[in-house]
Amino acid sequence: MTVTAYNQVDIPSFMYGTAWKKDATAPLVQLAVESGFRAIDTANQLIHYQEALVGDALDALQRQGGIGREALFLQTKFTPVNGQNHRTPYDARADVSTQVRQSMDSSLAHLRTDHVDSYVLHGPYSQWGLGPSDWAVWATMEELYESGKTRMIGISNVTAEQLSQLIEKANHRPMVVQNRCYAVMGWDHEVRRICRDHGIIYQGFSLLTANGRVLAHPAVREIAMRLGAGIAQVIFSFAMQIGMLPLTGTTDAQHMKEDLQAEQFTLSPHEVELIETVAI
């Protein structure tokens, strides 16, 4: 299955996230693709990601499994200086537009491709509003989109207020938004609503790790029993039914296969409402 943004680009409906995989990144990405994932999320940020090792996995998949670049959806991110350590993939003293272009060139080299499918600003420079640096980055990302180096552009770790500002003033509004998704905040209800109204694909991460109390809730366990599903499958199925594209970062081969089966389950409208509100 796929989901489609307002610019008519399709994304596979489940994405494998590569954060915090360290030296295991390449074998885990290869395992995820062999298990059935066709969308991979990474970032050019050495604190939490090993983007070059994702490229190693893609090379191995092409040589060993015959799964080429055209079969995969690749998403990476520009991470500002305030989200990096001393190992920046660009000249940290340069203007931000130069940093974005250098980071993209570095990502393309890491991933051994001439374009990515989605390029995401890892997060605004401050927690409130959008400043000059954010607008300079976005303008450069729009140029990369227009030049064909990326098929989509988006933003991560964004508030509803910031997203609304970006949609109002940008030449190209985001095609994707990727946020950590907390049940206690209505599963990021307001940001999801804005995305839905503007044809933007909402990607949710930390759906399991950020919501341990929901996973343990008796009502959620009852839903799992009715469906004959695992708890994670229930949460991922719920996410898809409310219009979310979920990310998983599991390192377990069996869990990869089980996660991908989540779209086979259907929760009743009552069950969806229950999970949406159980933590509020």
Position 106 scores a pLDDT of: 98
pLDDT level of residue 152 (50, 70, 90 thresholds): very high
**Range 39-68 average pLDDT:** 96
Assigned domain for 271 exists? no
Q: Model confidence over 211-260: pLDDT tens digits?
A: 999 999 999 999 999 999 999 999 999 999 999 999 999 999 999 999 99
Assigned domain for 257 exists? no
CATH number at residue 55: 3.20.20.100
Chain Cα centroid distance, residue 202: 8
**Residue 133 above 90 pLDDT?**
yes
Query: CA 234, CA 236: separation in Å to the nearest integer?
Result: 6
Assigned domain for 215 exists? no
**Residue 193 above 90 pLDDT?**
yes
Assigned domain for 6 exists? yes
**Range 71-92 average pLDDT:** 97
Which pTM does this prediction carry? 0.97
Position 96 scores a pLDDT of: 98
Position 45 scores a pLDDT of: 98
Assigned domain for 97 exists? yes
State the residue range of the domain holding 21. 2-210
Position 280 scores a pLDDT of: 83
Q: How many structural domains compose the chain?
A: 1
Position 40 scores a pLDDT of: 98
Position 65 scores a pLDDT of: 79
